[in-house]
Amino acid sequence: MKSRKKIIFNGVFLAVVFALTIYGVFHGEDLSSMMDAIHRADKRWLLPGIALVAFFIWGESIIIWYMMRSNGIHLKKRSCFLFSSVGFFFSCITPSASGGQPMQIYYMKKEKISIPVSTVILMIVTITYKLVLVVIGIGVAVFGRGFVHTYLQGILPVFYLGLALNIFCVTFMTILVFHPLFAKAIMVKGLKVLERIHLMKKKENRLRKLEDSMDTYRDTAAYLKNNPMVIVKVIGITFVQRMALFAVTWFVYQSFGLHGTGFWEILFLQAVISVSVDMLPLPGGMGISETLFLTIFRPVFGTLLLPGMVLSRGLGYYGELLISAIFTVAAQLTIGQEKKKKA
């Protein structure tokens, strides 16, 4: 019942945010001119953009496959792609991307992967994912003074807030992963609080099960701590993965036949948007992302700013949502089925 209410709440929340975004972005605009510009865009430049979105989803699946394999868990790459799709789909439709990893853990459990192992691995995925944003954000803030002055003057408070929140998140999650005793203390205390306020019924064996799970958690964390090259390789893959998604906007820029702004400028502008909105409690940064795009890309797209935003967000967010939705359905139909047949 609670699960159904949560689904309804997320659905209504997503619909409201989407409706407000559509109204805020398109109210008072010449929609016919916008559609004409989109229609005239060279579709040959948009196809690589779609491919990059698929590559972005595939990139996380390779990270999951590699880290599972490093921990002695052998999975098919196809299964890992489905795990990745599930994560992106539920991240896209829930506030602060809060639904992605719990659903990934759920589907991994159907493949008999223990929750402590999947939790540590997915925390590493999140840490490296946000670490790339932190590195880019700090790089822009420290070394990109001219870039900041030219493009970011109107959004600096949001940018610095997003950067600070990502730094805090990376720091806190790193402590949780590599200091299991601290993580265990938080989990035990949290469990007792939930029982005290009657959100969970008190069960004598629940604490013992939690402690047993934390032993597995500790072993996985210790392995990663003692094998730093695994983390280094994951950071490298994550960097390429993130850059691929940021590059989608450059292909949109090219599809309009525009010139004058370089590839790296456009890529870092798109990265700035991700740094700014990644930690905000909105599905996919909806509403804020569009506003930031219309602010910082104005000198880049000029009169084609609105069509550029529609295509960039259409590919980068809604394209990701559509692709991941298709494979989430596939995950629901296939993951865990072979295990059931063998049983």
d(CA 37, CA 223): 53
pTM given for the model: 0.81
Q: What is the mean pLDDT of the chain?
A: 82
Residue 249's pLDDT is 95
Quick: pLDDT tens for 202-254: 666 666 666 666 666 677 777 777 888 888 999 999 999 999 999 999 999 99
- Rounded-to-integer distance, Cα 34 and Cα 39, Å: 9
Residue 73 covered by a domain: yes
Quickly state the pLDDT bin for 1 (edges 50, 70, 90).
very low
Q: How many domains does the chain have?
A: 1
Three-state DSSP at 94 gives: coil
3-state secondary structure string across 160-187:
HHHHHHHHHHHHHHHHHHHCHHHHHHHH
| The pLDDT of residue 235 | 92
pLDDT over 90 at 173, yes or no: no
Question: Domain for residue 63, yes or no?
Answer: yes
Burial class (CB in 10 A: 0-12, 13-18, 19+), 191: middle
Asked whether residue 109 is domain-assigned, the answer is: yes
User: Does residue 306 contact residue 193 with C-beta atoms inside 8 Å?
Assistant: no
Other Cβ atoms less than 10 A from the Cβ of 232: the count is: 10
Write the pLDDT tens digit of every residue in 6-29: 556 656 655 665 565 554 555 445
Question: Does residue 59 sit within a domain?
Answer: yes
- Residue pair 284/96 in contact (Cβ under 8 Å)? The answer is no
Whether residue 8 lies inside any domain: the answer is no
Least confident of 86-95, 149-158, 175-184: 175-184
Q: Convert the pLDDT of each residue in 76-90 to its tens digit.
A: 999 999 999 999 888
Residue 34 in any domain: the answer is: no
Which pLDDT value is given to residue 7? 57
Q: CB under 8 Å to 158, separation ≥6 — which residues?
A: 276, 277, 288, 292
- For residue 293, give its domain range: 43-335
Look at residue 159 and tell me if it is in a domain: yes
Instruction: Report pLDDT for 285.
Output: 62
Q: Assess if residue 186 is contained within a domain.
A: yes
